[in-house]
Structure formats: structure tokens, C-alpha cells
Structure 1
């Protein structure tokens, strides 16, 4: 079940923010096209918060070691990370952002 995380207006373009939903830390990102994404907030290479990183096109880069994770698949685009982070379903309703952390989007 999706839970309200924030107002869409709270999210600046290309500026990730951290949220915790049912004990799961997530990084919320609004890309340059205005699409809102939610991925796991912890880099799979180290215990680093991705929401403190940088948005690079369609990915979120870990500030510590430079691994970039796809906002749509969660897959790392470069080393040192090789494991994906979870991607969660996002819905924007009436100006609010809802995220479902209970069923991550399947990764191929």
C-alpha cells in the first residue's frame, strides 16, 4: 500500500531528498523531465546515503565512491557497486507523492 511521503512541491529538480517509509529509507528524485522516482537510499557498495549524492541525467550518483544507479531500474551503471538498489512505485496524486515500499519494482 502506497503511503504519502511529501508534497511534490517539496522536491527540487535534480536534488534528491531522503524519506523513511515503514522503516525503509528511500531517496526521492525529481528528474529534469519532472518525473518523480523513488529508489533505495543506501548504496550497495557501502553504507552511504544516496540522497546525499548527485543526480546525473537518469541516475543518482553516490557521493562517496561515484557509483551511479539508474533511477528506473536501480542497477548500477559503474563500479565499485555491482548490486542494484530497489526501485519503488511512485504515484503523484493531488500534488502529493505516494510511495509503495512493500513491493519493489522487479529488476530484469
Structure 2
């Protein structure tokens, strides 16, 4: 099993909120989309822009790159429109004892 890193208590990441986490050489955006927690690489595959600064759409659980507008599905990391066409990494999330934890490899 890959290591789990503690992010924060679930109560500190209410629906609609985002948090940037750095772990070794990874930058991970942790997002509460309408009560579901997702973790996605904080790097647009089009031009390396920071996704966590982008607009969250809780209707389709996506985040939009603020630089050129590519939207990424938080569940899969797949881009939903151009100019990005390469998916970004996603990370498994668990909530244990009220704490959000992300599995990194």
C-alpha cells in the first residue's frame, strides 16, 4: 500500500473549498466538491498552470485552469475541453476518524 498523508480534519474543508498540499516533489489540490473529497495534481497538463487557483464547478465536479480555461474532471483527471488533452494525476482519498488522508505513490 502506498503511504497516506494527513491533509486536515474534514471539518476544515467544507463543500466548495480547496487546499493546496505539498508532499516531497508533488503539489496536490484537495477539493471538497459538494461533499465528496478529491485529490488532483495541481498542474495543468497544457502549460503547468496551478489548478487549485481555478474555478470549481460543483455541478460536474471539475476545476478550470485559470490560465487558458481547460476544465479537468476531479474524479478522473481527464480534461473536458481543449487546449489540454492529456489527463493529470489523481490520488485516492480516504477519510478516517474525521481526517482527510491522501494516498501518494
Structure 2 length normalisation: TM-score?
0.90
Q: Deviations over 1:5-46 (max 9, x none)?
A: 1121221322322111232100111011x1100010011111
Deviates more, 1:43-52 or 1:8-17: 8-17
What aligned pairs does 1:19-98 form with structure 2 within 5 A after superposition?
Answer: 19-32=21-34, 34-56=35-57, 57=59, 58-98=61-101
Measure the CA separation in 1 of the matches of 2:24 and 2:98. Answer: 21
1:18 and 2:1 are equivalent in the alignment: no
C-alpha RMSD over aligned residues: 1.1
1:100 matched to which residue of 2?
103
- Deviating above 2 A after TM superposition, structure 1's stretches of 4 or more consecutive aligned residues are none
Measure the CA separation in 1 of the matches of 2:66 and 2:11. Answer: 25
8 Å CA contact 1:16, 1:54 repeated in 2 = no
